[in-house]
Amino acid sequence: MFSLLGQVAVVTGAAAGIGRGIAEALLGAGAQVVIADIDVARGKATAGELGAVFEEVDVTSKEACADMVARVLERFGRIDVLCSNTGIFPQATIDDMTEAQWDRMMDVNLKGTFFMVQAALRPMREQQYGRIVITSSITGSITGFPGWAHYGASKAGQQGFMRSAALECARDGVTINAVLPGNVLTDGLRAQGEEYLRTMAASVPMNSLGEPSDIGHAACFLATREARYITGQTLIVDGGQIIPESLEALA
Ligand code: NAD
């Protein structure tokens, strides 16, 4: 329905999982896609498979984010879409959580989003056009889960960041929105274990976990020219997971 033909999109954390799903959706809509990831081998392989370009980035480094965007500009001359998707979600209860675990979560998920948005915003402002889509989560902003206090804080934090950012660039033709996945089957989710996957699937009204393409299509819509009047908003993609008021409501 919508076309991204001739547009340049950068997706972070796109070597695998949801980022890969977003990259595939953007490619399907006609965009030239840059897969930006810390995992060079997998990133290159994914880019090769999909017909995208690979750029290395560690989103916890301000310099690395700026350098990566500079390389994209050198190569393509513009950057129309940024999907800031990188995120980690190791579990730790508050009693056991170390300062290093807390800091790592914030560095990758929250500071990484800030660094990437900051780097992409400058060229987007110059073009007076841009679409930024952050991969946040239902966890933290709407729901909670034992062991994910730090993760939830980082994901809710992304949305707080997004709302002020949306105002800062509203007059420059740049929108910034967030997709909020529920539970999507990726390596990161598989690492939570079989029991987690089973109980999560059972708590989704649609009775199954999401697929990366489910998030990809939602992000792709927010990345289109036609989504121009939507900014500072969240789009929940969770198979109805946050809806039931009781266990009986799921039956
Ligand atoms: P994943 O672990 O399967 O993939 C994450 C990708 O990010 C990997 O390719 C990894 O190499 C890359 N990465 C990790 N650290 C990086 C860094 N410092 N710099 C650059 N790249 C880095 O994860 P996923 O399940 O696909 O999750 C992607 C995003 O979606 C995350 O932000 C996550 O919080 C969010 N999310 C996922 C789910 C889910 O159910 N899978 C649910 C809600 C939100």
Å from CA of 248 to ligand 1 middle: 32
If DSSP codes are grouped into helix, strand and coil, which group holds residue 3? coil
Task: Please tell me the predicted confidence (pLDDT) of residue 174.
Answer: 98
Instruction: Provide the pLDDT for residue 243.
Output: 96
Q: Kindly provide the b/e burial profile for residues 62-99, where b requires at least 16 CB atoms within 10 angstroms of the residue's own CB.
A: eebbbebbebbbeebebbbbbbbbbbebebbeeeeeee
Q: Are 39 and 17 in contact (CB under 8 A)?
A: no
Yes or no: say if 82 and 165 are a contact pair by the CB < 8 Å rule: no
Cα(251) to centroid(ligand 1), Å? 31
**Is residue 151 flagged as an active site residue?**
yes
| 89 close to ligand 1 (CB < 6 Angstrom) | yes
- The per-residue pLDDT for range 74-107, each reduced to its tens digit, is 999 999 999 999 999 999 999 999 999 999 999 9
Q: Do 200 and 209 touch, CB atoms closer than 8 A?
A: yes
From the CA of 119, how far away is ligand 1's center (Å)? 20
Q: What is the average per-residue pLDDT within 137-163? A: 98
Q: Is 130 in the pocket of ligand 1 (CB under 6 A)?
A: no
State residue 195's pLDDT score.
94
Distance from the alpha carbon of residue 249 to the mean position of ligand 1, in angstroms = 31
Mean pLDDT of the chain: 97
In short, whether 87's Cβ falls inside 6 Å of ligand 1 is yes
Q: How far is CA 127 from CA 27, 95, 131, 234, in A?
A: 22, 48, 12, 25
Average pLDDT over residues 200-226: 96
Ligand 1 atom closest to the CA of 191, numbered from 1: 2
| Probe target for ligand 1 pocket from 60, 86, 190, with the most ligand atoms within 8 Å of CB | 86
Whether the pTM exceeds 0.85: the reply is yes
pLDDT surpassing 80 at residue 251? no
- Report the alpha-carbon distance of residue 53 to residue 166 in Å, rounded: 28
Buried b (16+ CB within 10 A) or exposed e, 25-57: bbbebebbbbbbbbbeebbbebbeebebbbbbb
Q: What is the mean pLDDT of residues 170-186?
A: 97
- Six token digits for residue 223: 């990345």
pLDDT 10s digits, 111-135 = 999 999 999 999 999 999 999 999 9
What is the number of alpha carbons within 13 Å of residue 203 lying toward its C-beta?
16
- Bridge partners, residue 53, by sequence: 34
Q: Are 120 and 79 in contact (CB under 8 A)?
A: yes
CA distance 65 to 203: 37
The pLDDT assigned to 116 comes to: 98
Q: How many angstroms is it from 187 CA to the middle of ligand 1?
A: 9
The torsion region of residue 83 among left (phi > 0), alpha (psi -120 to 50) and beta comes to: beta
CB-ligand 1 contact for 15 (6 Å cutoff): yes
Q: Under DSSP, is residue 131 helix (H, G, I), strand (E, B) or coil?
A: strand
Task: Taking residues 24-47, report their average pLDDT.
Answer: 98
Distance CA 164, CA 118 (A): 13
Which range (3-7, 47-51, 190-194) has the least confidence? 190-194
Atom of ligand 1 nearest to the CA of 184: 40
The rounded percent of the chain whose pLDDT value lies above 70 is 100
Q: Is 186 in the pocket of ligand 1 (CB under 6 A)?
A: yes
